[in-house]
Amino acid sequence: MNNLNVEEYKYRISQVFLFKTIYINALIIKYLLYSKEMIGEGILSYCLYLRKSRTDKDFEMGSIEETLARHEKILLEIAKKRNFSISKIYREVVSGETIVSRPKMKQLLFDVEKGLWDGVLVMEVERLARGDTIDQGIVAKTFKYSYTKIITPSKTYDPNNEFDEEYFEFGLFMSRREYKTINRRIQRGRVVSAKEGKFLGSVPPFGYDKVKIKGDKGYTLEINDNAKIVQLIFNLYVNGKEQENGYVKPYGLSLIAKELDCLEIQPLKSEKWNSSSIKTILTNPVYIGKIRWSWDKEIKVIENGIEKKVRKHNDDCIFVDGLHTAVISEDLFNKAQYKLKSKKIYPIASNKILKNPLAGIVYCGECGSLMTRTIRRNHNKNIKEYSLACPNIYCDNVSSRMDIIEKTVIDSAQNWLNMYQLNWEEKNEVKNNNDILLKEKLMKKILKEISVVDKQISKTYDLLERDIYSIDKFNERNKTLLYKKEELEKNLSLLEKEIKNNNEKQHMKIEFIPNMKKLIDLYYSLEDIHEKNKLLKKVFEKIEYTKNKRAAKNKINEALIYLKIFPKIPK
């Protein structure tokens, strides 16, 4: 079910009238159901669908697990009274508006479509769908065409009964309306809180703690010890850092990240700092005492007939003074924004011609800036020469001639390929094959264990029906076995994904060697700069360039160039 393409599934359900086979299958299922009931052979199969709702009275007090456990007890008692055989329980522990965001609901619909269940026990029909009319239509048609009943504590719905169908569809409609009302009320409350300067986020920004407002509803922020680090980040980015020789060294995002890692300062979520986390701090107006709400707004769009959610900056967002104390001045914040905007790298315009084959690939090994192509005149030969240099005027990384760097890159690629090819052919291929064989053996073992657990689950129902098991004993044993089966299925799914990933990586490795050889063989024969650049980007993530000393006069080839290459190959 994890591999099921939900969009294709929606399309298949929405187009159900066009496929005669669905109708034929429905007639077959109906015939089998009636014949089974008439003959009296076999036991009808039912399942449980459990999902917590915002309307539950204990929504704020009790945990999801407690609520689902109580619902499970109620539905199992109904199953016992009506002599229903419960073969599976779908527990939805995530909250989602649509079917796409609810994995257990997707699995349930897939199983219902296959005709696995004669009926589904649920606390209310509203638990099945609170999405839009498309989602409601999917649920209604799936149950109708598979002749699957919906059993609730108050009523049993037969989707093929005209009156039940209308009642069922009306219930879904009212559920959607109720959801919209609740959501609108929640959003309205958040807007009011934001305008009052309260903090609405779940995770406080670096440098603050989230605290309850005394004598009022909601939360605000309180400065902690990390606020000094925030001030350091802004000062380094805007003002740089004075060196021993007197000049001020400018700091970019990556250099600040390295500085904080050297100081052993831990970021909020990851182990190391990076440019993205530094930029997030530099662009967050919370540090000047502001609250910005609904800035990064999620909107729905239709692409190729499929609904998607995308994030878009909202210029009409709420931007007010917060109840918390600022960490930095507005002047320092505005200077940081101006510098960030001026550092943007724009793509080559359509009317421009690419002249640097190493564009977007070679980075400065000292400050992390993207190296740029420069022109210098050779007065001895009275000709122009092209160099690759760091654009940071305060960086002491020495530039080199373009042709020398290109030659070093290709030579390094050749040396790296030789070592990699030898290592992969002798060790990695054997190791990878052994890993796959081992995982396949584990998969077979898990499948056998799942088969054993299925038999044990079936036996518990037999013991319950023969009154050997009490309902409490049955629930306890059944829950243990279902949990065990769920864990086995999780392990099986993980192994399948690992084998798939290993095969994909192996395929990428096989493709990588020909691409690297193509680069080495064709690079110097190509005249099109754009084609050279494409070849380089096909095999390299990036290349870090470092040169500590200038070459002596007439000995330019003797200058040491250090390159750190990052090939595009899976680890």
pLDDT of residue 571: 55
CB contact at 8 A, 256 and 368: no
Helices (H), 40-132: 64-81, 103-113
485: left (phi over 0), alpha (psi -120 to 50) or beta: alpha
φ, ψ for residue 48, nearest 5 deg: -115, 140
**Given this model, what pLDDT does residue 208 score?**
93
CATH class, 6-187 region: alpha beta
In the DSSP assignment, the letter for residue 491 is H
Q: Are 269 and 221 in contact (CB under 8 A)?
A: no
Which stretches within 151-252 are classed as H helix?
Answer: 162-195, 227-239
Bridge partners, residue 373, by sequence: 388
Task: Please state the three-class secondary structure of 45-65 as a single string.
Answer: EEEEEEECCCCCCCCCCCCHH
Residue whose entry in the numeric block shows the structure tokens 């600022």: 326
- As given in the structure block, the two tokens for residue 204 are 């406080």
Q: Do residues 176 and 241 lie in contact, with contact meaning Cβ atoms separated by under 8 Å?
A: no
208-342 to CATH, choices 3.90.1170.50, 2.170.150.20, 3.40.190.10, 3.90.1750.20: 3.90.1750.20
- SS3 category, 469: coil
Non-local CB neighbours of 457 within 8 Å, separated by 6+ positions: 87, 478, 481, 482, 485
DSSP 143-158: HHHTT-EEE-SS-EE-
Angstrom distances, CA of residue 190 to CA of 173, 187, 201, 421: 26, 5, 10, 58
Q: Using an 8 Å Cβ cutoff, are 359 and 373 in contact?
A: yes
Structure tokens at 360: 């977007």
Sequential pLDDT tens for the chain (571 residues): 444 455 555 444 544 433 344 444 544 444 444 444 433 334 578 999 998 765 444 444 456 778 888 899 899 999 988 888 888 999 887 766 677 778 888 899 989 988 889 999 998 877 777 666 677 778 888 888 888 999 998 888 888 888 877 777 777 676 666 667 766 777 777 778 878 888 888 889 999 999 998 888 888 999 999 999 999 999 999 888 887 766 677 888 888 988 898 888 888 888 888 888 898 899 999 999 988 877 776 666 666 656 666 666 676 778 888 889 999 998 899 888 888 876 554 445 444 678 888 888 899 988 888 888 887 656 555 667 788 888 886 788 888 888 888 898 888 888 877 776 655 554 455 555 667 778 788 888 888 888 888 888 888 887 877 788 787 788 888 888 888 888 888 888 888 878 777 766 666 666 677 888 888 888 888 888 888 888 888 888 888 999 888 766 655 554 588 888 888 775 5
Please tell me the predicted confidence (pLDDT) of residue 300: 64
Give the sheet arrangement for strand 119-121, strand by strand: 85-92, 45-51, 119-121, 149-151, 156-157
Q: Which long-range contacts (CB under 8 A, 24 or more apart) does 94-103 make?
A: 95/52, 97/130, 97/131, 97/179, 98/131, 98/132, 98/135, 99/6, 99/10, 99/129, 99/131, 99/135, 99/138, 99/139, 100/6, 102/51, 103/1, 103/2
Residue 112, judged by CB atoms within 10 A of its CB (0-12, 13-18, 19+), counts as buried
Neighbours of 202 (CB within 10 A): 7
Are 128 and 139 in contact by the 8 Å Cβ rule? The answer is yes
- Decide: 561 and 543 in contact? Cβ < 8 Å: no
